[in-house]
């Protein structure tokens, strides 16, 4: 017995609710290369 009371977690199904919008986000990014976002160097 792990607990004094019998308590159960109600878990939801693990289902994807959103579609993959990677291409749409990368289309509006300032710089993309090989599927990665390019950012300016901030440390010399």
Please give the model's pTM, rounded to 2 decimal places.
Answer: 0.52
Which pLDDT value is given to residue 14?
87
Which residue's structure tokens are 């986000």?
Answer: 25
Q: What is the torsion angle, in degrees rounded to the nearest 10, for the CA atoms of residue 14, residue 19, residue 25 and residue 26?
A: 90
What percent of the chain is modeled with pLDDT above 70? 93
Read off the pLDDT of residues 15-36 as tens digits, 9 standing for 90 and up.
888 888 999 999 999 999 999 9
Q: Looking at the chain, how many residues does it have?
A: 44
Are the C-beta atoms of residues 8 and 17 closer than 8 Å to each other?
no
Q: Helical H runs in 1-44?
A: 22-27
Average pLDDT, the chain: 89
């Amino acid at each position: 017995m792990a607990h004094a009371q019998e308590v159960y977690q109600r878990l939801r199904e693990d289902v994807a609710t959103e579609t993959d919008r990677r291409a749409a986000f990368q289309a509006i990014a300032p710089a993309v290369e090989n599927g990665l976002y390019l950012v300016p160097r901030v440390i010399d």
